[in-house]
Amino acid sequence: MANDQRTRIISIAASIVLLIMLVLILKTLKGIFIPLLLSIFITYLFAPVVEFLARFKVPRVLSLFILLITIFLIGFFFARIVINNVKDFIAYWPSLENEVFRKTGGFFERYMDLDIRNITNFIRSAKIQELFSNIFTVSFSVIGKFLVTILLLIFIYLSYHNYPSLIRKAFDAEKADRIFKIVGNINEQITRYIFIKTLISAGTGVLTGVTCKLLGIKFAALWGFLAFLLNYIPYIGSLIAVILPIMLSFLQFPHSFIPYLTIVVLILIQIVIGSFLDPEIMGNRFNLSPIIILISLFFWGYVWGAVGTFLAVPITAIIKIVISNIDSLRFIAVLMSKKAD
């Protein structure tokens, strides 16, 4: 009995140590894992297009060329719009800065009886305009990672059709069929999630951008792009996407009904999409508990930063699908579920 208890304690301790080591490895080697996972993400995103072209017997190299041209054109179009908006925002910031600090200071003094002049002076000394300018410096690093991602995407796309024959050669028939079942389940769910999630995010971005444009809020394209991007982050992303344009509307139109109309319309967009469409895909598609989704957001955000929050739900869903096919770990998959199947 004592030996069994000692063995159990050693097993638990070893599992904790392995988990810590795994987190450290993932965090340390994020420069490798992030481009790899992003390339897989893009592969899943364009999978329906690839399958569509395959029905017409389009050669693999030609479909890859079409895919890369599409990615380049979409990326160039949005990058140009966003960069122009960021440049305009940097130029606009000095005139906006005084108004931001004046209204913020007045709010804290009136409602909380706090004097934040020292804080505002410190922030001013940090030269926020230079901070925004650093976005362009950081963008070069992003471009480098994007090129690595595209390179990995090419290798994945050109070689993934060989994996079934390699798996059948490496494993016996029963084990190979089980692997194909798990991988097929992952492929089906992740492909649908990413494709539909992208469509919904695009809809959110378009509605947000059009709303800001019609109401006369500056940098409408930037707010629409951020709404599209942040919609991939469950719960938290939608909140951030709404706050920024609402704050700007109050600064632009301090004595108008427009800020309140902005609040109503943008929050209505987020409620309709966030309360009806997103849960259907995010929760019911993968049957993931909201608590598990939040934990995964914080965990992958800690490990891989902003990219980790974007990939948190698909990664967690893959983990759940895999462990649900392992008898000894199936109870964990059940506990991760939103509802019992």
Residue type for position 104? T
212 within some domain: yes
**CA–CA dist 211, 223 (Å, integer):** 10
249 within some domain: yes
306 within some domain: yes
211 within some domain: yes
49 within some domain: no
Q: Is the dihedral of CA 195, 196, 197, 203 positive or negative?
A: positive
Number of domains making up the chain: 1
Residue type for position 177? D
The overall pTM is greater than 0.85? no
239 within some domain: yes
**Contacts from 317-323 at CB under 8 Å and sequence distance 24+?**
317/189, 317/190, 317/193, 317/286, 317/288, 318/186, 318/190, 320/286, 320/288, 321/182, 321/185, 321/186, 321/189, 322/182, 322/186
184 within some domain: yes
**CA–CA dist 66, 52 (Å, integer):** 12
289 within some domain: yes
**CA–CA dist 19, 25 (Å, integer):** 10
User: pLDDT of the chain along its 341 residues, tens only?
Assistant: 556 677 777 777 787 888 888 888 888 888 888 888 888 888 777 777 777 777 777 777 787 778 778 877 877 777 777 777 777 777 776 666 666 666 665 555 555 555 555 555 545 544 554 555 555 454 445 556 667 777 777 777 777 777 778 788 888 888 888 888 888 777 777 777 777 788 888 888 899 999 999 999 988 888 888 888 888 887 777 778 888 888 888 888 887 888 899 999 998 888 877 666 665 555 556 677 878 888 888 898 888 887 888 888 888 888 888 788 777 778 888 888 877 65
What phi and psi values does residue 337 have, to the nearest 5 degrees? Answer: -80, 155
Provide the residue range defining the domain that includes 290. 173-341
